[in-house]
A and B are shown apart, each in its own frame.
Chain A
């Protein structure tokens, strides 16, 4: 293998976020500029996986200085090459600015978004080329599987994972080592390991970033699991909506096969392991393990009652171990560094780190990997940079459609699997959606119920019919048709659905409603009894807008903004809104420079 020495490395993020903001164009412009200055042999351009700071893309990091440039455009490359690469001067204008202080930050390590993070599972994401196996190996990759296969027995591997306290990162938080133990003890001539990459929770994208940014880490974790339980075949079940993740994983599997890290007689032992990719076909319920296995078998992805658990009777009736992407991503560290080191991070009951997908009304959106036991406030304000547009924090939704909304007084809660359950939320896959004063909590409940109702597979009645009933009531409330007794009826339905549904989808579907009822009951009551949406989000409950004639300066900005031409008036004269035509969309309010429009 030929290795050249380069004076500098330029890492350009090629994750899905940056691709959509135009990183391909930036890269080709950068390469043109480097070629124009005959620098191709001195400077190496690498396309990496996701850096997690998706909102600021396209992103570039220049090493060895580790200078972080963001929101780049192809036309900026001329200046970047001439100033930074040729003259060694940092280009201030392309640096990141902290949202609060407006200070420019040079190195990505000094950016608040990254400072409090502890990137272990995501360590390589954004720093290596995911399509080159050598880069993963150079960071210590595939050493853990070497260690496991040549120095440890399968039971020792299981004990190490048990001892590490690693819990399933996909939602439930079941101890991974225990799961492996069950699968290992199950009798069977054939066993499988499965990776659940059917990341369907709205608001979560860590599994996608891991697969796109560091696919070999997942493969390594799966091979270790296979060795531990005695499986010789595995499947990664990936959503079809993630084409780039599928492509990179496919390349990674081919490379690992070439290097003898997948296939027969790994590391000179008699252990064999083959790995396949199975593309999902668009069904949220397939994230449930028994449904996922039915889908791999070529059937409708419907769950079945457990027991028997997959560890006893899984794929094609054989003992199977199924873990989530992020869980497997933690395994190489557990084996390589040992359980003791792994446990140093996190809390007693929830060890290690967790990757959260930070989105919604927040300044810094992206992926943040933090130690378990951090507070919500640290994530939202220190890493996330607080609420955008100077608005007030109202709630944070954690755990997707199975989780709950937490209010401001829960911001100082330390986050781990158990503390979240106590307050009526759950870790889920780690989606954190921040909501501000303009978000209506009843509407958020309706949104989640709409989601679970349409994704319900229909097999069991409580989920199929119950979620529909709940949705009907919520729709009634958000359109001003709420009745006395609706809240109580919602609570009764919720409890029944929780206790009688067949799988996790139904059992957790009422959580968004229950948690908002617990913390934001007054908003439900305002909708029902006062026909009022305090957040001003439910359109049917809002009246038409009116223009304050004295304040109006006749700039016509509102006339242009109105989608239904409900505003009339000559330039520089007072404007009027036709009440009947107004759809209360609020477009005019945003455009009015003098705040003359109210409801």
Chain B
């Protein structure tokens, strides 16, 4: 492959192939916009501009609307993300049980700030509103796994499970 930036025509086609598969599964009406964006993000890890433009074309909705929806919902991302997504719960129960201390320790361990991704693209750190596991506060989610009753001391142990 001479060029991998996605600009060469054949590369572009190859690059967008998974998106066409996603679109094929839908009626491609306006109501499918959010599910299509969710599937596309699952496929690419984030939502690059080329993908968004193609989605706008595929669903027949203005690009401005696609961009509007993507930036409205916190689930969608315009930048590349880490292999593992760490969500630190900042809900009420976690707040009163010291969730912010867990977040601080996580920042320190990963060397990134809230919302950032580590340089090796291993981890993305996010603080989120309640993830609904308040009985186990303070709690975090790494990908789809919930880790509860955390203390700052337990943070390295949790991270090690996701480091190869």
Contacts and interface: CB of A to CB of B under 8 A. Distances in A.
B72 A283 contact: yes
A357 B134 contact: yes
Contacts of B65: 299
A359 B34 contact: no
Contact of B96 (A20, A298, A360, A585): A360
B132 A16 contact: yes
A204 B133 CA distance: 8
Contacts of A278: 34-35
A55 B135 contact: yes
B97 interface: yes
Interface in B62-79: 65, 68-69, 72-76
B132 A400 contact: no
27 contacts: A17-B146, A20-B133, A53-B135, A202-B91, A202-B130, A203-B92, A204-B134, A205-B135, A279-B34, A280-B73, A282-B73, A283-B72, A298-B33, A298-B69, A300-B69, A302-B72, A357-B135, A359-B92, A359-B137, A360-B97, A365-B93, A365-B134, A365-B135, A400-B92, A433-B93, A455-B129, A457-B72
A533 B37 CA distance: 46
B26 to A, nearest CB: 11
B52 interface: no
A19 B148 CA distance: 10
Contacts of B91: 202-203
A241 B132 contact: yes
Interface of B: 29-35, 37-38, 61, 65, 68-69, 72-76, 90-93, 95-97, 101, 128-137, 139, 141, 144-149
Contact of B129 (A20, A200, A444): A200
Nearest to B147: A20
A435 B146 contact: no
A433 B99 CA distance: 14
Given A298-B31, A298-B34, A205 B134 contact: yes
Name the 5 nearest CB pairs between A and B, nearest first: A54-B135, A202-B91, A20-B146, A281-B73, A202-B130
A361 B96 contact: yes
Given A297-B31, A298-B32, A431-B92, A242 B135 contact: no
Interface in A435-450: 435, 439, 444, 447-448
Contacts of B90: 202, 451
A32 B95 CA distance: 40
Contact of B133 (A205, A240, A280, A284): A205
A524 B29 CA distance: 52
Contacts of A360: 92-93, 96-97, 137
Contacts of B35: 278-279
Given A20-B136, A202-B130, A300-B72, A295 B34 contact: yes
B116 to A, nearest CB: 17
Contact of B148 (A17, A300, A435, A447): A17
Nearest to A277: B35
Contacts of B130: 200-205
B41 to A, nearest CB: 10
Interface string A186-216: 0000000000000111111100100000000
B75 A240 contact: yes
A397 B145 CA distance: 28
Interface in A556-574: none
Given A55-B136, A367-B135, A433-B92, 4 more contacts: A21-B136, A21-B149, A297-B30, A365-B137
A16 B134 CA distance: 11
A20 B145 contact: yes
Contacts of A17: 133, 135-136, 146, 148
Contacts of B131: 241
Contact of A199 (B31, B32, B33, B132): B132
Main secondary structure of the interface of B (DSSP, over half): mixed
A203 B134 contact: yes
Contacts of A332: none
Contacts of B72: 283, 300-302, 457
Contacts of B137: 359-360, 365
Q: How large is the interface on A (under 10, 10 to 19, 20 to 34, 35 or more residues)?
A: 35 or more
A414 to B, nearest CB: 24
A483 B92 CA distance: 27
A202 B93 contact: yes
A296 interface: yes
Contacts of B146: 16-17, 19-20
Interface string A28-60: 000000000000000000000000011100000
A199 B130 CA distance: 9
Interface in A274-309: 278-284, 295-302
B99 to A, nearest CB: 10
Contact of B68 (A296, A300, A366): A300
A243 interface: yes
B31 A296 contact: yes
B136 A447 contact: no
Interface string A2-24: 00000000000000110111000
A298 B129 contact: no
Contact of A282 (B75, B96, B135, B144): B75
* Residue among A55, A284, A444 with most chain B CB within 10 A: A55
A204 to B, nearest CB: 7
A485 B25 CA distance: 59
Contacts of A16: 132-133, 146
Contacts of A297: 30-31
Contacts of A282: 73-76
A301 B134 contact: no
A242 B134 contact: no
Contacts of A199: 132
A420 to B, nearest CB: 17
Contacts of B34: 278-279, 281, 295, 298
A435 B97 CA distance: 10
B106 to A, nearest CB: 13
